[in-house]
Chain A
Amino acid sequence: MFAEAAKNHGYHPFPRPVANASRAYTNPDGSKFGACEYCGFCERFGCEANAKGSPLITVIPIAMRNPNFELRTNAWVTKVLKDSSGKKVTGVTYTNTLNGEEFEQPAGMVVLTAYAINNTHLMLLSGIGKPYDPVSQTGVVGRNYCYQTGAAAQLFFDGKHFNPFMSTGGLNVGIDDFHYDWNFDRAPHGFVGGYNLAGGMTHGRPISYRPLPAGTPQWGSEWKAASAKWYNSAMIISSSGSVMANRYNYFELDPNYRNAFGLPLMRMTFDYKPNEHKMGQHAAGVINKIAKSMNPTMMNPAVARTEPWSVVPYQSTHNTGGTIMGTNPGNSVVNKYLQSWDCHNLFVMGAGVFPHNSAYNPTGPVGALAYWAADAIKNRYLKNPGSLV
């Protein structure tokens, strides 16, 4: 339905790609995948069918085959240690979370592979790289924090059966006409970057997914009747848009709040800026145009977000920035091989190295960059330790 409507408007719909195996498959490393069962528990859960491409299947078991590999669980790294010159790291401090005992683990090389935000936190706690200061706009660690933006419409079709509980992570049809296409002139709309659109659902788990027409009561028999009527007869069209770096969106160590180890928490300062608002308005317009042409019985139109960003509703889990990649130590934390500018035997993986957030979830490039960095470490750095650029 969405594909046809999008095509009628001159857009170019395509099935959204996902890292799920549609049939049993053994990859070149020997990782075995099962076939996706369309169970509707894809996002936020492990995969019972082993059909989902994730490090749990494709990386960690392969690494564990190496006799010199050890996975040490319940170990919470609190600090990366430097030598007296500050030009090299010498290991990490970690706490055994089962008994609180603190260890120092010496290392010839340290690779930060925590979540993007946690890597930034560790760099700040360890005093590696100059922390970003938004007032003077100096420093690099913590800068360029970016998120994603979006808008969505809910469409209700009396008598249709969408069966949202039969689903895989990307059971959607997307269009990319307002993202990849440089012929799309953004200037009249006043924004840079872009967004993709998709129609369909990714799950039907009813605590979080029960679309209802606007104005439906929140409880009572009328609410129950509407829930029963529309649960299986609604669909979503949503956008996922880029967020550009802004000098006032950043991370720093919190001056007040501390974690269980007595160390400062990390504080995030973020809000959507006019660029995101304008992009959201454009996306909402396109969503509503496509949606109306599908003749739903009812619809909750997409509305661009203009209110302050909120931690409360789920919006996206795809954070970028904080330890960004760049051309010199003045504008970035790592070089193009994800190597710290300050300590040449420290490497930082993950979406924290992206200077802005693209319209798509960044997992693919995160994996690609990790392989790119690993190749440089193995084939160049180990032979000749020092700056790779």
Chain B
Amino acid sequence: MKDIEKEGFGRRDFLKSAVAGGAVAAAATAAVVTTQPAQAQPAGTAASGYAYLNLDEAAFVEAMVDHMVPADQYSPKGTDMGLAIFIDRALAGGWGKGERLYMQGPWKPGVPSQGYQLPLTPAELYRAGIAATNAHCAKTYGKTFDRLDAKQKQEVLIGLSSAKITFSDGLPVRVFWSTVYQTVIEGMFADPIYGGNRDKAGWKMIGFPGVIATHAQDIIKYRDKKFPADYTSISDMS
């Protein structure tokens, strides 16, 4: 069962920290638990608890963030840090819709130094990239990414990050991977109000004290000394 509350993320907390319209919708359906297998969900419709990701995509993203950010002495695992929720909200929101991208043709492949040149919004890129990666996994291992063992997942992610994997439908793997990687990093270290970095676990991992800091005295006092951070996020200030 995929139940957000059972994964340690209370409904109250979810509502409290919900800032995006999509997240409010997600909270409203969070109590509706689905037991459907991933394949039963038609592509393009949102799975329960997510505003953008369908069940196949949610399974991919959850498996990926838990592989990339395993639970250890430094932080809880990716889904427990809210990374999948962060990514879902980002994809459902203005960034995923390409609000700040120039999205008019004519479309040309361009060269890497010209940056993002795709006719896809970032959310569409994510969707197409997950499908293409799962197609690669099905061909190579006979199952989708989320059902691979840790060694196989590692092989796939290294294949994506080094562009050794190519997508037969022409989707540029480097653009997909750099977008995916950036969202994982942002989910780790963005303010918790955006859904990731839950309990400031990403900040605690490295020792970043957070927002609004008055260090005019500290900068002398803690010169070459460890700073005893009182981790502060946006919602702590309001």
Which residue of chain B has the shortest Cβ distance to A207 in the bound complex?
A: B189
Contacts of B227 in A (CB 8 A): 161, 163, 165-166
Contact for A207 among B186, B212, B215, B216, CB less than 8 A: B186
Please tell me the number of chain B residues within 8 Å of chain A, measured between CB atoms: 45
Min distance, Cβ A245 to any Cβ of chain B, angstroms: 21
Q: Is the interface of B mostly helix, strand, loop or mixed?
A: loop
Which residue of chain B has the shortest Cβ distance to A38 in the bound complex?
A: B215
Contacts of A167 in B (CB 8 A): 215
Per the bound structure, the CA–CA distance linking A221 and B67 in Å amounts to 10
Per the bound structure, the CA–CA distance linking A316 and B148 in Å amounts to 42
Beyond contacts A220-B154, A221-B74, A312-B113: 15 other A-B pairs, Cβ-Cβ < 8 A, are A38-B213, A38-B219, A160-B224, A161-B225, A166-B222, A206-B189, A206-B206, A210-B206, A219-B68, A224-B69, A224-B72, A224-B74, A224-B205, A311-B113, A312-B112
Please state if A218 and B224 are interface contacts (CB–CB under 8 Å).
no
Per the bound structure, the CA–CA distance linking A48 and B113 in Å amounts to 36
Please state if B114 and A311 are interface contacts (CB–CB under 8 Å).
yes
The residues of B with any CB-CB pair to A shorter than 8 Å are 67-70, 72, 74-75, 102, 104, 106, 111-115, 154, 157, 161, 181, 184-186, 188-190, 202-203, 205-209, 211-216, 218-219, 222, 224-227
Contact for A39 among B113, B206, B212, CB less than 8 A: B212
Contacts of A258 in B (CB 8 A): 104
Q: Can you name 17 A-B pairs with beta carbons within 8 Å?
A: A35-B216, A36-B216, A39-B213, A39-B215, A41-B213, A48-B212, A163-B222, A165-B209, A206-B203, A206-B208, A207-B185, A219-B68, A219-B157, A224-B75, A227-B206, A310-B114, A312-B113
The residues of A with any CB-CB pair to B shorter than 8 Å are 35-41, 48, 160-163, 165-167, 204-207, 210, 218-221, 224-225, 227-228, 231-232, 256-258, 265, 307-312
Contacts of B209 in A (CB 8 A): 165
Please state if A257 and B104 are interface contacts (CB–CB under 8 Å).
yes
Please state if B104 and A231 are interface contacts (CB–CB under 8 Å).
no
Q: How many A-B residue pairs have CB under 8 A?
A: 111
Contacts of A41 in B (CB 8 A): 211, 213
Contacts of B215 in A (CB 8 A): 37-40, 163, 165-167
Min distance, Cβ A224 to any Cβ of chain B, angstroms: 4
Contacts of B205 in A (CB 8 A): 224, 227-228
Please state if A37 and B214 are interface contacts (CB–CB under 8 Å).
yes
Per the bound structure, the CA–CA distance linking A142 and B228 in Å amounts to 52
Per the bound structure, the CA–CA distance linking A309 and B111 in Å amounts to 11
Min distance, Cβ A40 to any Cβ of chain B, angstroms: 6
Which residue of chain B has the shortest Cβ distance to A205 in the bound complex?
A: B208
Min distance, Cβ B227 to any Cβ of chain A, angstroms: 5
Min distance, Cβ A84 to any Cβ of chain B, angstroms: 35
Which residue of chain A has the shortest Cβ distance to B150 in the bound complex?
A: A220
Min distance, Cβ B226 to any Cβ of chain A, angstroms: 5
Contacts of B74 in A (CB 8 A): 221, 224-225, 227-228
